[in-house]
Amino acid sequence: MDELNELNPAKKYISWQTLFLMALCTVIGLDDIMYNFQNQGMSVIFSWIVMVIFYVFPYSLMVGQLGSVFNKEGGGLSSWVRGTDGEFLGYFTAWTYWAASIPYAVDSANEIIVDIGWALTGSEKFQDKIPNSLFAILTFVTFIVFIIVEHHFSNSMEFLSTIGGGLMVLMTILFVVLAFCGLAKSGGHMATTNFTWKSIFPKFDWHYFSTIAMLIYAMNGCELVGPYVTKMKKPKDDFPKAMVTLAIMTAFLTIFGSFALGIYFNANHMPNDLKMNGAYYAFKMIGHQYGIGDFLLYFWAWTSVFFNCALLAVLLDAMTRMLISDTGDRYMPEFLRKKDKNGLPINGYVLTVSLAAFIMILGIFLPDMNDIFNWLLNLNGIVSPGVTCWIFYSFMRIRKNSKKYPSEYVFIKNDKVAYGVGFALLIVTAAATIMGVTPQDVAQGSSIWWYELIINIVSVVVLIGLGAILPGIRKRELEYGIAFTKNQWIWMGILIIGSIILDIYIGGLKHLPLRGAYIAVEATIALIITWLIGRRKPVQN
């Protein structure tokens, strides 16, 4: 307890109830339930039960011990890996964690556009009027706007996102309660016909196993509360209370929330745009059932706008700062760590926007907004669980040598059993990540299915592979004093930005045959020229 008092000299403790609410906001919401309902139908109820018992509960308690072991480093994921395996792996963990946030940030920007459309029109019809190129440009503009105003609103946005997260949880609970009251009001009528208890048992085929990654994506995130373990008065007792309560509430929301969706949507014939618009459809039906019109629809729309705007601002700020400040100067180029007069890593923001634009270009060839939205979710279901593997890896490392890594809170006293549990979750998560590469919302074997499979692989390779290039750039800085001259930066910037703009324009020309080939050729030429410019020795005046 002496170490805890040193870390918390003011003795301002966090109650287990507060920690539970903080974790709940990061773990589950109505959208998460909606996504997996479309993937698995009513059988998702079985999946939620298994995941809560065998995944959420041990995963949360492992995070508690990791946060307790590395409390002096702040409990961040990269510091956990750095503490067990050294600086380089810590850097690479930070990079992969940041890279995984890119699709999440793009998805949040897309959701802002969808939310504003619903909030202003009260209908999904506006989506038919927005071509893919305009959707990509609007998303790109959203990024730029949030970066411009970031230094004015970053602190308040973080506070507002907490409120928005609370509203999301409140709306999810409200949806479940109103749905079951509506079921009783309608005399037990459900949109899902021929529902029996056998309906909740899935068919264990490739499609089912390839959707497990999305379940993990929906349920991960509690590592964000890991640093707060040391701020609890009695972590040995209070942290398990918070995590058990988290598991119980997660089970309640996911199981009963999925059943509630079956009340309003036929699980055997679901709308193709359920992931993007399902929550709006649901609140519209509930509002009309209770005689309050579209009030709940608009309330949800503005809640979602409020939440996603704050979330995007915090993502752009927190993730970029974490990458730049938490990886040290050995592998991270100096130009990325450079800050402006407001203390913001502006070049880090530029890199974030550039990769976001790259992701948007890949999705521009899909048929419509709904396909782009679903594909981005699929991509999140690949990269996010992949990063979660680091948590189980770190837990295995500290339990392999528990005397070297003492902690105030311990999950499973027996080291061998604890190691085995961590290893099992690592294997399950890694397998789900690999199988999640399979596209989910298009006909298997179709041209779109193959295209999504290719861009899933390309996205992961580029996002992770760039992390291996940056140490090389840092090496140039150490060797020559600077990585590139001003002229090199200017010409490389013109080539990259110009290529992105041209690719977006060509991608929007649906009447142009083989436009994918034109973009591939153009991008390859631009990359070769950029590489030729960048490889030259930077001669300083």
When pLDDT is averaged across residues 75-83 and rounded to a whole number, the result is 76
For residue 6, what pLDDT is reported? 44
Residue 264: closest CA among 352, 367, 189: 189
Better-predicted residue by pLDDT, 331 or 532: 532
> What is each CA distance from 140 to 110, 134, 144, 415, 451, in whole angstroms?
9, 10, 6, 48, 22
Contacts of 239 (CB under 8 A, 6+ apart): 16, 19, 61, 64, 229, 232, 409
For residue 297, what pLDDT is reported? 93
Indicate whether 5 pLDDT > 60: no
Specify burial of residue 446 (Cβ count, 10 A radius: 0-12, 13-18, 19+). exposed
3-state helix, strand, coil in the chain (%, to 5): 75, 0, 25
Residue percentage of the chain with pLDDT more than 70: 87
Indicate whether 429 pLDDT > 80: yes
For residue 540, what pLDDT is reported? 65
Better-predicted residue by pLDDT, 361 or 297: 297
When pLDDT is averaged across residues 388-412 and rounded to a whole number, the result is 89
* Tokens (6 digits) for 38: 């479309």
Q: Which range is least confidently modeled, 187-191, 228-232, 409-413, 498-502?
A: 228-232
Confidence of residue 8 (pLDDT cuts 50, 70, 90): very low
For residue 213, give the H/E element and its range.
helix 212-219
Where are the alpha helices (H) located in 413-514, listed in sequence order?
A: 415-435, 447-480, 486-507
Q: Which range is least confidently modeled, 189-203, 309-323, 443-457, 498-512?
A: 309-323
When pLDDT is averaged across residues 170-196 and rounded to a whole number, the result is 87
Indicate whether 43 pLDDT > 60: yes
CA geometry: angle 55, 56, 58, nearest 5 deg: 70
Q: Average pLDDT of the chain?
A: 82
Which residue in this structure is represented by tokens 């907490």?
162
For residue 88, what pLDDT is reported? 82
Which residue in this structure is represented by tokens 């770190």?
394
Dihedral sign (CA 20, 21, 22, 25):
positive
Indicate whether 189 pLDDT > 80: yes
Q: Which range is least confidently modeled, 110-124, 149-163, 176-190?
A: 149-163
How far apart are the C-alpha atoms of 117 and 120, rounded to whole Å?
A: 5
Residue percentage of the chain with pLDDT more than 90: 20
For residue 3, what pLDDT is reported? 41
Better-predicted residue by pLDDT, 313 or 387: 387
Dihedral sign (CA 361, 362, 364, 365):
positive
Indicate whether 98 pLDDT > 90: no
When pLDDT is averaged across residues 146-154 and rounded to a whole number, the result is 63
When pLDDT is averaged across residues 46-62 and rounded to a whole number, the result is 90
Indicate whether 2 pLDDT > 50: no
When pLDDT is averaged across residues 131-152 and rounded to a whole number, the result is 76
Indicate whether 324 pLDDT > 80: no
266, 192 Cβ separation under 8 angstroms: yes
Domains, the chain: 1-87+107-128+155-190+203-317+369-438 (1.20.1740.10)
- Residue-wise pLDDT tens digits, 465-522: 888 888 888 888 888 888 888 898 899 888 887 887 787 677 767 677 877 788 888 8
For residue 78, what pLDDT is reported? 78
538, 485 Cβ separation under 8 angstroms: yes
Indicate whether 456 pLDDT > 70: yes
Specify burial of residue 528 (Cβ count, 10 A radius: 0-12, 13-18, 19+). exposed
Indicate whether 157 pLDDT > 60: no
How far apart are the C-alpha atoms of 390 and 77, rounded to whole Å?
A: 8
When pLDDT is averaged across residues 143-170 and rounded to a whole number, the result is 66
Which residue in this structure is represented by tokens 């990061």?
26
When pLDDT is averaged across residues 300-319 and rounded to a whole number, the result is 77
Phi, psi (rounded to 5 degrees) for 438: -65, 130
